[in-house]
Amino acid sequence: MKEPILTVLAAGIGSRFGGLKQMTPFGAHGEGIIDYSLYDAMRAGFKRVVFIVNNKIKDDFHDFIGKNVENRMEVTYVCQELDMLPDGLKPPKDRVKPWGTGHAVLCARDAIDAPFCVINGDDLYGKSAYEKMYNYLIKQPKAGEYSMVGFELGNTLSEYGYVSRGVCDVSDEGYLNSVVERLHIITSVDGPLYTLDSKTYYALPADTTVSMNMWGFTEDYLDHLVNGFSHFYKEAMATNPLKAEYLLPNIVGALLKENKVSVKVLPSSDKWYGVTNASDQPYVEEAIRKMTAANIYPDGLWK
């Protein structure tokens, strides 16, 4: 039996944040958000990790993050680059933006030989999310039996403006039917609200299940990524060649519509923390300080 793999998306450039979030200190001893995610994942049982970075930051990423876990986990580094495309495809001349989360995982296909969990490197999901995901993947689900950690909307909102969330339709049996992206969700005295036109707002229950891009896949998903990329590329070149992205949720959604896969929703009541804008940083730092004081994390993760 092969141990499940934690796959960390850490190649992003953090344009809205104004820097590299994956290498920004948030803890009292210089820890990054990924450090806390790795600590939670190890406590949950994960023993293998694949870091998806890019060549420009690989060495710095190793010094800031990777070296802390290399004697604790089996570590593999994979680089996501614009020209790493299947079928001999080439990026357009002026393309700078990465191809998205689906392409990132596609770049790591040679390093993945077991069921795997994909996370954003700049999100803090909480210990129970990793426990539920690891316990699902260690049972060696069959091909096409995917999973997703579902969070309560109220536990994912920011105090600093609106957010986008994948609002999930979940069956009575606990399986994902679909995900609808809501691009403008705010907090209010009446609870979460969303708008389509910045004029009229609609209520969303605080316990609405949302996806925060924490997925569990079997190895066959890599084949779906390869098979779908050519179609994505053709459409992207015709409509938005410099910015179109090949995204994990879109690919899963298409497979669900075709009844090719199932996605078990693993509910988490943990509070999710993330950093989209620079104004989020002090809020996350304070949350980590409080969790350290409450002994959720030790004072110095790697001491």
User: What integer pLDDT is reported at residue 31 of this predicted model?
Assistant: 94
- pLDDT higher than threshold 50 for residue 15: no
- pLDDT higher than threshold 60 for residue 260: yes
- pLDDT higher than threshold 70 for residue 87: yes
How many CB atoms are closer than 10 A to CB 221?
Answer: 26
- pLDDT higher than threshold 70 for residue 245: yes
- pLDDT higher than threshold 90 for residue 88: no
C-alpha distances out from residue 56 to 20, 44, 61, 80, 213, Å: 11, 31, 9, 10, 24
Q: What is the mean pLDDT of residues 169-177?
A: 97
pLDDT level of residue 160 (50, 70, 90 thresholds): confident
Domains of the chain: 5-145+211-255+263-293 (3.90.550.10)
Mean model confidence pLDDT for the chain: 92
- pLDDT higher than threshold 80 for residue 2: yes
Q: Can you tell me the distance from the alpha carbon of 175 to that of 103, in angstroms, rounded to the nearest whole number?
A: 25
> Which DSSP state fits 32?
-
End-to-end CA distance of the chain: 32
User: What integer pLDDT is reported at residue 243 of this predicted model?
Assistant: 95
C-alpha distances out from residue 23 to 35, 282, 285, 290, Å: 10, 16, 14, 21
Q: Which of 261, 268, 275, 270 is nearest to 291 (CA)?
A: 270
User: Are 262 and 146 contacting, i.e. CB atoms less than 8 angstroms apart?
Assistant: yes
Q: Can you tell me the distance from the alpha carbon of 40 to that of 45, in angstroms, rounded to the nearest whole number?
A: 9
- pLDDT higher than threshold 50 for residue 17: no
pLDDT digits (tens, 9 = 90+) for 217-240: 999 999 999 999 999 999 999 999
